[in-house]
Chain A
Amino acid sequence: EPEVTQTPSHQVTQMGQEVILRCVPISNHLYFYWYRQILGQKVEFLVSFYNNEISEKSEIFDDQFSVERPDGSNFTLKIRSTKLEDSAMYFCASSEMAGAYGYTFGSGTRLTVV
């Protein structure tokens, strides 16, 4: 069964450092997403991406965050200057179509900012 693959599974970084989280969505999917889940809290939407541009973003997705699809397979989330409160699980997801269809989520990257 096709999977969304995320790397690394766990990343520890110093506060103020830049991090890049990587995702390989399912190959025929056209819509890509990032969500995050702070420990013990809800899964929260960050951003959606289609046709090489951001289609929606939440209030969480401020200027410290950016997304990119640098080639035909990878989808990345960059956090420019990490803060302690950025510590969370970050999930990438993809879907074949827009509208009310389920996504496929990756297994996540646990980001720990120290």
Chain B
Amino acid sequence: EDQVTQSPEALRLQEGESSSLNCSYTVSGLRGLFWYRQDPGKGPEFLFTLYSAGEEKEKERLKATLTKKESFLHITAPKPEDSATYLCAVQHTGNQFYFGTGTSLTVIP
């Protein structure tokens, strides 16, 4: 059973059109939920770590929030350079991450 599910799979936004990406998880004993950005042919680039429900983190046009079952990555007034795949990963036991399949975001000028 998938532990991390991301939606939508793909999202096309006009420049300036705000939206949210979803990451739902089913693990118990969450130690951390991570958001990464991945550009084509590159490794994941760390964005945020969230540890407990109610926590929020912000970086430029991105804001990540966490509840007991899901996390949202809010993108405010996106720009074309925000186009990338956004990956969610959870850590519960051990040190390994369990990744979702990602949301491919395209921001059209």
A residues near B, CB below 8 A?
4, 6, 31, 33, 35, 41-45, 48, 55-56, 58, 89, 91, 93, 95, 98-108, 110
CB contacts (< 8 Å) of B51 on chain A: these are: 100
CA–CA, A95 to B89, complex, Å?
Answer: 15
**Main DSSP-derived SS at the A contact region:** strand
Closest CB-CB distance, B74 to chain A, in whole Å? 19
CA–CA, A49 to B81, complex, Å?
Answer: 35
CB contacts (< 8 Å) of A41 on chain B: these are: 101
Contact with A along B86-109 (1 / 0, CB 8 A): 010101001111111110000000
- Given A41-B101, A105-B45, 5 additional A-B pairs, CB 8 A: A33-B95, A45-B97, A102-B46, A105-B36, A108-B42
Task: Tell me if A100 and B32 are in contact (CB < 8 A).
Answer: yes
CA–CA, A48 to B96, complex, Å?
Answer: 7
CB contacts (< 8 Å) of B97 on chain A: these are: 35, 43, 45, 103
Task: Tell me if A107 and B42 are in contact (CB < 8 A).
Answer: yes
Least CB separation from A105: chain B residue = B43
A-B contact pairs, 10 of them (CB 8 A): A45-B97, A48-B96, A56-B95, A89-B41, A99-B31, A103-B46, A103-B97, A105-B44, A105-B45, A108-B43
Partner of A45, one of B44, B96, B101: B96
CA–CA, A95 to B45, complex, Å?
Answer: 13
Contact A106/B43 with A99-B31, A100-B49, A100-B51 known, Cβ cut-off 8 Å: yes
Least CB separation from B47: chain A residue = A102
Task: Tell me if A56 and B96 are in contact (CB < 8 A).
Answer: yes
Residue B25, interface by CB 8 Å: no
Least CB separation from B49: chain A residue = A102
CB contacts (< 8 Å) of B49 on chain A: these are: 100-102
Task: Tell me if B31 and A100 are in contact (CB < 8 A).
Answer: yes
Closest CB-CB distance, A83 to chain B, in whole Å? 23
Task: Tell me if B95 and A55 are in contact (CB < 8 A).
Answer: yes
Task: Tell me if B95 and A48 are in contact (CB < 8 A).
Answer: yes
